[in-house]
Amino acid sequence: MYPQLAIEAAAQSDVGRRRRHNEDSFAALPCLGLFMVADGLGGSAAGEVASRMAIEVVKSCFEEEEDLEDTWPYGAARPQDRDEVRLVLSVRRANRAIYEASRQQEANRGMATTFAGVLLGPGMAYIAHVGDSRVYRMRDGKLERLTRDHTLLEELLRDGDGALAALEALSDRASAVTRALGCDESVAIESRVEATAPGDVFLLCSDGLWGPVPEGRIEGVLQAHQELSLAANLLVDLANEHGGPDNVTCVLARLGGG
């Protein structure tokens, strides 16, 4: 792994005002440059199990620096490519673990989870996600979304022609997640690589934040509050002030050096 980067981090999670259990899980690991949010699906306690498994499996892959041999040519890749591959393969391993646990344990049948992860290396951010947990970047006072939701709504909008008519017909299902860890033996994991700059703030969050809280309000909190722990608490409070319809989790990471 790289020498430790100068990274500040904070995280906050809350059950919200309409749910009885918090099925979100998260990790903020500046020592590894690794930050994650997972939002469990499946009802009862199963969603919590799936989200926790996703976080723990990915975390263990980086802590133990295991050889993640898979179909990708991991060993032949350039160092910067290997970081992206390593993140994606660790998420792929989490998917298999959740899928197998779901098949083997009746209480966990049908469990799944969204996932959003950021790995920060020198000058680069490696992002992998599945579902509708999001990654944002705050730079020079502007908030930018770096992930596209894997939902019926986003897919219809990307389709172009006929999308609006289809949305009207399916408005009650528009937010349905079309991709999640644990649903199938394999899953398409979306990834991207972004150049970083000193002072960049990365926000990872479940839909319990971005759903009820407009992005302009999120941007305003991050503009006004440099203390990340305070900003994380305020973002969760905002979600609850907007009705707290779901579990809400946010992870913040700021790059130092400038």
Residue range 171-219, pLDDT digits in tens: 666 678 999 999 999 999 999 999 999 999 999 999 999 999 999 999 9
Q: What is the pTM of this model?
A: 0.90
* Ramachandran quadrant class, 246 (left: phi over 0; alpha: psi -120 to 50; beta: rest): beta
Q: Which residues are 120's β-sheet partners?
A: 125
| Distance of alpha carbon 67 from alpha carbon 74, whole angstroms | 9
**Looking at residue 159, what is its pLDDT?**
64
Q: Is the pLDDT of residue 127 over 90?
A: yes
Share of the chain above pLDDT 90, in %: 72
Q: What is the CATH number of domain 7-255?
A: 3.60.40.10
Query: Which DSSP category does 120 fall into?
Result: E
Q: Hey, is 215 helix, strand or coil? A: helix
**What is the mean predicted confidence (pLDDT) over 61-66?**
80
* Ramachandran quadrant class, 131 (left: phi over 0; alpha: psi -120 to 50; beta: rest): left
